[in-house]
Amino acid sequence: MLYPTVLTLAVAGLAAAWPLADHVPAGPTCFPITFYVDASAQNVVITNPPSEHNATAIYDFMLSTVSTGSQAISGTKTVSGGFVIEGTYCIPPPTVKDVGALQFLVHGVTYNKTVWAGLGISERYSWHDYATSAGYHTLAIDSLGHGQNPQHPDPLNVVQGPLHVEIMHQIISRIRSGLVEELFHARKTIIYVGHSYGSGLGNLLSVKHPEDIDAYVLTGFSATLTPPSSFFSDLFSAADVLDRFENYPSGYLTGRTIDGRRAVFYAGSYDHSIVPRDFAGRDIVSVEEFFSPGLFTVASNYTGPVFVATGDLDKFYCAGGPLQCQKILDSTKTQNFPLSTNYGTYMAPNTGHCLSLHYSVAETAAAINAWLTNVLESLSRAGHRSPQS
């Protein structure tokens, strides 16, 4: 079961929703929303895991797994529970035509749902603004263990990719069925928008539940993941790094240095004053989120639209730089989404991994919006949904 509750009403005081448009409407109206979710998943069982209370052992376990490229797994185990998931739901300004579609936004590791609001830095970096100014509703969630979610379950055995996916499946199913009153109007067409690890979760969702989503937009993603080793070496137990994480189990990690964060998430053309604010507000990652199997899997039963947008200087997913990046993005269709009937890509120029926090974000948003406009038209012609008046 899943029960949504709107907690309070807040008007987002954001301007400049669509910088490339001739007319700039007012910003979106956004509501905090809470989901109570019962979910179960087949998580992996780690052979000889480190103690979740020993920060050094967890750090050594992580680096050893990274260096060998694998970890010892002794099977799978059903993990079940009731989980609290916080979200932010935004609706288009009244001056914008509502397209009657929902963008379901899922963040990457060491971030939370605030990244979709540009970390509160500027509307220039707010995905809520870009999407709602084009007529979409948006729902950004905090993944289990992240952000404002009150629960911080076992970071080794519970907070893994398979459980994240089943929690999302439960939320999406309830939205689809019309049982989430606040999102009733936008339930017919659901577009998954992920970033980085959130995109990997989208890939796994398309494998496990191919009927959940009408179209995928995967940012900071490709079929070729080559994370910089410095990213892992900069991580340590969040409880030992920041006071606000002092009550978290040691298996929740966060970055230790601002230079480490800048080096892996930023490149090319960006406002350097963003990095200190990004670093100050950084979130966590559970150690086993990294190593959950299935995040880069062939979606053999998903035939719908997929769009991949990644920076040409992305050190995680386009490590070969601009000369290789487009080839990598093109090959992602063959490797991950071979049956997609509408596959598109965008290589953001002079842009690093966190592409929504770079100067190119407006052009990236425009490319995605143009592709989605065609997708909605195709879905409408196919009788998938009724166009909104």
Once rounded to an integer, what is the mean pLDDT over residues 194-201? 98
Q: How confident is the model at residue 26 (pLDDT cuts 50, 70, 90)?
A: low
- Nearest 5°: the CA angle 104, 121, 351 is 70
Q: Give me the pLDDT at residue 251, please.
A: 96
Q: How confident is the model at residue 384 (pLDDT cuts 50, 70, 90)?
A: low
Q: Give me the pLDDT at residue 18, please.
A: 36
Q: Give me the pLDDT at residue 366, please.
A: 98
pLDDT at 348 over 50: yes
What are the boundaries of each domain within the chain?
Answer: 2-381
Once rounded to an integer, what is the mean pLDDT over residues 78-89? 98
Q: Which residues contact 88 (CB under 8 A, 6 or more apart)?
A: 30, 31, 32, 33, 113, 116, 117, 128, 138, 139, 140
Q: Give me the pLDDT at residue 69, please.
A: 76
- Nearest 5°: the CA angle 30, 307, 170 is 55
Q: Give me the pLDDT at residue 6, please.
A: 34
CATH class of 2-381: alpha beta
Q: Count of CB atoms within 10 A of residue 82's CB?
A: 11
pLDDT at 70 over 70: yes
Q: Which residues contact 56 (CB under 8 A, 6 or more apart)?
A: none
The Cα 205–Cα 171 span in angstroms is 12
pLDDT digits (tens, 9 = 90+) for 112-129: 999 999 999 999 999 999
Range with lowest mean pLDDT among 89-98, 139-148, 380-389:
380-389
Once rounded to an integer, what is the mean pLDDT over residues 52-70? 90
CA 78 centroid distance within chain: 24
Range with lowest mean pLDDT among 185-189, 205-209, 224-228:
185-189
pLDDT digits (tens, 9 = 90+) for 260-311: 999 999 999 999 999 999 999 999 999 999 888 777 899 999 999 999 999 9
Q: Give me the pLDDT at residue 169, please.
A: 98
Once rounded to an integer, what is the mean pLDDT over residues 154-181? 95
- Of 175 and 389, more confident: 175
Q: Among candidates 255, 237, 224, which has minimal Cα distance to 50?
A: 237
Q: How confident is the model at residue 23 (pLDDT cuts 50, 70, 90)?
A: very low
Q: Give me the pLDDT at residue 182, please.
A: 81
Q: How far apart are the first and last CA of the chain?
A: 33
Q: How confident is the model at residue 184 (pLDDT cuts 50, 70, 90)?
A: confident
**Bridge pairing between strands 189-195 and 215-219:** parallel
Place of tokens 């899943």: 2
The Cα 374–Cα 22 span in angstroms is 20
The Cα 277–Cα 270 span in angstroms is 13
Q: What is the 3-state secondary structure (H, E, C) of the chain?
A: CEEEEECCCEECCCCCCCCCCCCCCCCCEEEEEEEEEEEEEEEEEECCCCCCCCHHHHHHHHHHHHHHCCCCEEEEEEEEEEEEEEEEEEECCCCCCCCCEEEEEECCCCCCHHHHEHHHCCHHHEHHHHHHHCCCEEEEECCCCCCCCCCCCCCCCCCCHHHHHHHHHHHHHHHHCCCCHHHHHHCCEEEEEEECHHHHHHHHHHHHCCCCCCEEEEECCCCCCCCCHHHHHCEEEHHHHCHHHCCCCCCEEEECCHHHHHHHHCCECCCCCHHHHHHHCCCCEEHHHHHCCCCCCCCCCCCCCEEEEEECCCCCCCCCCHHHHHHHHHHHHHHHCCCCCCEEEEEECCECCCHHHCCCHHHHHHHHHHHHHHHHHHHHHCCCCCCCC
CA 351, 17, 92, 121 torsion-angle sign: positive
Express as a percent the part of the chain with pLDDT over 90: 81
Once rounded to an integer, what is the mean pLDDT over residues 170-174? 96
Once rounded to an integer, what is the mean pLDDT over residues 148-168? 97
* Average pLDDT along the chain: 91
pLDDT at 387 over 80: no
Q: Give me the pLDDT at residue 197, please.
A: 97
The Cα 196–Cα 368 span in angstroms is 16
Q: Confirm if 207 and 223 have CB atoms less than 8 A apart.
A: no
Q: Give me the pLDDT at residue 208, please.
A: 97
pTM: 0.92
pLDDT digits (tens, 9 = 90+) for 4-14: 433 322 223 22
pLDDT at 16 over 80: no
